[in-house]
Amino acid sequence: MHPLSRHLCRAKAGQIFTANSVRYELLGKIGNGAVGIVRKAKAVSSGRIVAIKFLAPDPKYIDPAAFDDVLQRFSREGKRAPGLDHENLVKVIAYEDNSDGVCFDSRIVINPFIVMEYIRGATLESLIRDISKAGSARVVYTEQTLSIAVSLCRALEYLHDYKIVHRDVKPANVFLSSNALGREPAVVKLGDFGVTKWGDFRAAISSGTLTVSHQQGLGTMKYMSPEQSVRPKDVTVRSDMFSLGVTLYELFTAQILPSPHHVFEIMMARNQRGPISWKMNALKISCPLGEEERLFEIILDMFLASPKGRPASTRTKGAFEVMLERVLEKP
């Protein structure tokens, strides 16, 4: 078994470790994904709460033959991320290779890890599910949802200006401050750079022949662009635009699409000829306002199979900002 395997990661609450010369105490669980586990931690001297992501691939989902490749990508992104600074990106405080468990007093945790700011609140996925439970019967076109969309576009534009492809844009990776659950302006931050690719998953999972009751972290596959699933080394920033399109579709329709098959259905509908209003009716989207029709025209363009046909992030950001300004001007 690979030494970094999930089953061998012994990160437990109460353990003391050091990252970038700061001493921390490991606290409770935040969540688990296909390639890592996320825990809270507290700085011993200041009491600051942070989030720690350990690279700990789960062999149930990730092919063990891909572990070393995933490690290289995790290391590359971990070393690059602390240099990024944008209000809509989760701030990475430190990255540690943790070779031979050198960062831990106990020396029993050998997994590399990233120290990130901790966002007290919820994920966009949780917010979408809450909106859905409220029984919205039409497009959720509000100041709140538009503000979230603009923030995501700004974060991606910043990354793309640095020629960085995020690779894992999805609602579960968008973090919202607790204000997002009320009517106050929310702090919106995109986090958790993608280090997985389609080929990392076990063949039975990527082909859809394995049914797993709790597929933690496998939501990534639903948001992957077509080129990312077949040519992961050749992806450009337009691959992120596909993922952003799925994310915004879910945000503005208040529904989390159950599987990649539903994404494919939307792609096919988008590629059909005819006016955008017909396509939207075919997708059972109600858009009584002209602004909403324009909004979905932009979003559905992101579903195009060919990356050449998708909008660039700068164009999308500008369009959403214009819409947001018009909404704010309304009574």
pLDDT digits (tens, 9 = 90+) for 251-297: 988 888 888 888 888 888 777 755 555 455 555 555 545 667 778 87
Taking CA atoms, 302 is separated from 166, 249, 311, 321, in Å, by 16, 10, 6, 17
SS3 72: helix
Mean pLDDT of 115-142: 82
Per-residue pLDDT, 327: 67
Instruction: Determine the residue type at 264.
Output: F
Q: Are 119 and 190 in contact (CB under 8 A)?
A: no
Per-residue pLDDT, 297: 79
pLDDT at 94 over 50: yes
166 pLDDT tier (thresholds 50, 70, 90): confident
Query: Which helix H or strand E contains 240, and what residues bound it?
Result: helix 237-253
Task: Tell me which of 173-187, 246-260, 292-306, 309-323 is least confident.
Answer: 173-187
Mean pLDDT of 77-84: 86
3-state helix, strand, coil in the chain (%, to 5): 45, 15, 40
Per-residue pLDDT, 300: 84
Percentage of the chain lying above the pLDDT 90 cut: 31
pLDDT at 137 over 60: no
CA distance 141 to 136: 11
185 pLDDT tier (thresholds 50, 70, 90): low
CA angle centred on 248, ends 120 and 284, rounded to 5°: 130
Task: Tell me which of 100-114, 148-162, 207-221 is least confident.
Answer: 207-221
pLDDT at 314 over 60: yes
Residue 240 designated active-site: no
List the domains of the chain with CATH numbers: 6-117 (3.30.200.20), 121-329 (1.10.510.10)
pLDDT at 39 over 60: yes
Mean pLDDT of 11-37: 92
Task: Tell me which of 84-98, 194-208, 314-328 is least confident.
Answer: 194-208
Taking CA atoms, 210 is separated from 7, 199, 213, 257, in Å, by 21, 15, 10, 19
Nearest to 196 by CA among 60, 33, 31: 33
pLDDT at 25 over 90: yes
CA distance 291 to 305: 25
pLDDT at 19 over 70: yes
Specify the higher pLDDT residue, 214 or 122: 122
Render pLDDT for 224-263 as a digit per residue (tens, 0 to 9): 888 887 776 778 888 899 999 999 999 988 888 888 888 8
Characterize 102-132 residue by residue with b for buried, 16 or more Cβ atoms within 10 angstroms of its Cβ, and e for exposed: ebbeeeebbbbbbbbbbbebbbbbbbbbebe
Task: Tell me which of 93-102, 128-137, 267-276 is least confident.
Answer: 267-276
pLDDT at 40 over 90: yes
Cβ neighbours, 10 Å, residue 17 = 23
Per-residue pLDDT, 9: 92
Label the pairing between strands 49-55 and 92-96.
Answer: unpaired
Nearest to 246 by CA among 282, 273, 271, 219: 219
Taking CA atoms, 260 is separated from 15, 94, 206, 266, in Å, by 39, 34, 11, 10
Task: Tell me which of 129-143, 199-213, 228-242 is least confident.
Answer: 199-213
196 pLDDT tier (thresholds 50, 70, 90): very low
Taking CA atoms, 52 is separated from 88, 137, 164, 224, 251, in Å, by 19, 39, 22, 25, 27
Q: Report residue 303 as tokens.
A: 């579903």
Average per-residue pLDDT for the chain: 80
Tally the C-alpha atoms within 13 A of residue 331's C-alpha that lie toward its C-beta.
Answer: 0
Considering 58, 168, 192, 200, which one is annotated as catalytic?
168
201 pLDDT tier (thresholds 50, 70, 90): very low
- Highest mean predicted confidence (pLDDT) among 14-23, 59-68, 208-217: 14-23
Per-residue pLDDT, 253: 87
SS3 71: helix
Label the pairing between strands 174-177 and 22-32.
Answer: unpaired
